[in-house]
Chains A and B, each alone.
Chain A
């Protein structure tokens, strides 16, 4: 289960390790369970701990984007490491306005 913090109506999920087709399934299931449980208005995916990501990570973001849209919410992608920048740019996700520089103001709130 990835580390997560619920703050106001904002759920931050801290992703870590490698995101590929193999690991994306577990991350997807865990994240979706957290969304169902917390019903946030904003889902923040924090990529700070991610070492590697291929296009499975793009699918993961797009899938959560659609899901949150269905609930009337939104997705923010934060803390993207330099080595993931190119694949994020290539994905066209920037046109969905999901990128945010950073914003971990509610660290202490459980």
Chain B
């Protein structure tokens, strides 16, 4: 895949990491922090909205599933790579996902009582270029989102 090769050969131009507790009140903080960092690439409002939405889904998964009945730490690492690629890693040390393929199926949810639509991963996949999930039951999950921001002409 073209984009994958590009990602493997690029340099890290800028990086930030933020760690916070898995409280639902931090969901908006998380997506805003990532959006504020990515803003330096001068993304379109649509691109920024895509990133906000995807991050919100990933962080909500940590709050609702990874740390179901407890508060744990969520860590987000954002790297700006050459060629305007943004790489966002959302990591938790929660319960892990037993069956990743199943978890990523649209409409599949283990929390219907919370009115979860089961669309979290579908949204991430639709709003980002690449979505990768690594998980170990009992030790946590890392979701990696890659998205290329369209370069703006005449913006040096």
By secondary structure, the A interface counts as helix
Q: Does B92 contact A (CB under 8 A)?
A: no
In whole angstroms, what is the CA distance A21 to B67 when docked? 14
CB <8 Å contact, B64 and A21 = yes
For B31, B45, B117, B126, which residue has the most chain A Cβ atoms within 10 angstroms?
B117
CB <8 Å contact, B27 and A22 = yes
CB <8 Å contact, B115 and A28 = yes
Known contacts A54-B123, A56-B115, A59-B114; 5 additional CB pairs below 8 A are: A20-B27, A52-B53, A55-B123, A59-B115, A90-B119
A22-B25, A62-B117, A91-B117 known; A56+B60 contact, CB < 8 A: yes
Q: How many A-B residue pairs have CB under 8 A?
A: 65
CB <8 Å contact, B60 and A21 = yes
Q: Contact partner of B60 among A54, A60, A83, A86, CB < 8 A?
A: A54
CB <8 Å contact, B115 and A90 = no
Closest B residue, CB atoms, query A21: B60
Q: Does A1 contact B (CB under 8 A)?
A: no
In whole angstroms, what is the CA distance A60 to B64 when docked? 16
Q: Does A24 contact B (CB under 8 A)?
A: yes
Give the distance to chain A from B5, nearest Cβ to Cβ, in Å: 28
By secondary structure, the B interface counts as helix
| Size of interface on A: residues with Cβ below 8 Å to B | 21
The B116-147 residues at the A interface (CB cut-off 8 A) are 116-117, 119-120, 122-123, 126-127
CB <8 Å contact, A54 and B122 = no
In whole angstroms, what is the CA distance A87 to B46 when docked? 12
The A31-65 residues at the B interface (CB cut-off 8 A) are 52-56, 58-60, 62-63
Give the distance to chain B from A31, nearest Cβ to Cβ, in Å: 12
Q: Does B28 contact A (CB under 8 A)?
A: yes
CB <8 Å contact, B126 and A58 = no
Contacting residues, chain B, for A54 (C-beta < 8 A): 53, 56-57, 60, 123
Q: Contact partner of A22 among B24, B57, B122, B123, CB < 8 A?
A: B24
Contacting residues, chain B, for A28 (C-beta < 8 A): 115
